[in-house]
Amino acid sequence: PLPTLIAPSILSADFACLGQEVADVVAAGADWIHFDVMDQHYVPNLTVGPMVCEALRPHAGRALMDVHLMVEPVDALVPMFARAGAGLISFHPEASRHVHRTLALIREHGCQAGLVLNPGTPLGWLDDLLDDLDLVMLMAVNPGFGGQRFIASTLPRLRAVRTRLDAHARATGRRIRLEVDGGVKPDNAGAIVAAGADTLVAGSAVFGSSDRRAAIAALRAAAAT
């Protein structure tokens, strides 16, 4: 399996000093910075856009900017986030009229492409798109807010996607990452990784902790057991 990556979500950071918050979690061992973009249309909340991503990019050092678009429509924001330093751009398929075109657009702009499935979104979306994906993200909460409880039915969904991604890797030699977003804590990270996830988003578990290094280490330790 691919090494487990930890992606703290800035949604739970102190928005009055985001640059410091990002630098702090990168120094504390974060692999990626998870950047939650909400438009108050696809989801009932409003966050930040490409200007903030661009401003934070230098504070993230070696960490990849993992941009999670919870917006509808999607395409117009892709070039803007690519220019703003996104390394990976993920979106929700039901928010794009032409999912395959949006995935291609992301890659044409030099970013990795991810598809995000909500707890109620059928896994069948993946059937014809694996060749066009670098990452699959399963939501373990309904998108819109940090600090929600992990929905348990995500575990069998992770197992089902893991089976498909392993078969794809055997057939093509190409590994697609499997990220989980929402309600990830040290006490469930072991089960989440055992079910097949290799990339963990953690908002409140990292930014809600006064010792971010210890919080990231606790997630990593739980993932390794």
Backbone angles phi, psi at 200, to 5 degrees: -115, 120
Q: Which residues are annotated as a binding site?
A: 9, 34, 36, 68, 144-147, 181-183, 203-204
Site residues for Zn ion, 164-223, by CB under 5 A, read: 181
Figure out which of the listed residues 198, 203, 212, 222 binds ligand DX5, where binding follows CB under 6 A.
203
Is the distance from CB of 133 to CB of 115 less than 8 angstroms? yes
Nearest to 126 by CA among 162, 74, 89: 162
In the bound state with ligand DX5, the residue whose beta carbon lies nearer, of 199 and 204, is 204
135 is a contact residue toward ligand DX5 (CB under 6 A): no
181 is a contact residue toward ligand DX5 (CB under 6 A): yes
Q: Which residues are annotated as a binding site for substrate?
A: 9, 68, 144-147, 181-183, 203-204
Rounded least distance, CB 30 to ligand DX5, Å: 13
Figure out which of the listed residues 143, 192, 222, 223 binds ligand DX5, where binding follows CB under 6 A.
143
In the bound state with Zn ion, the residue whose beta carbon lies nearer, of 147 and 163, is 147
- Could you give the residue numbers annotated as active site? 36, 181
Stretch that binds Zn ion, among 61-69, 82-90, 166-174, 215-223 (CB under 5 A): 61-69
Figure out which of the listed residues 24, 31, 36, 198 binds Zn ion, where binding follows CB under 5 A.
36
Q: What is the CA radius of gyration of the chain?
A: 16
Figure out which of the listed residues 4, 6, 12, 87 binds ligand DX5, where binding follows CB under 6 A.
12
Rounded least distance, CB 170 to Zn ion, Å: 29
What is the binding site for Zn ion (CB under 5 A)? Answer: 36, 68, 181
What is the binding site for ligand DX5 (CB under 6 A)? Answer: 9, 11-12, 34, 36, 68, 141, 143-144, 146-148, 181-184, 201-205
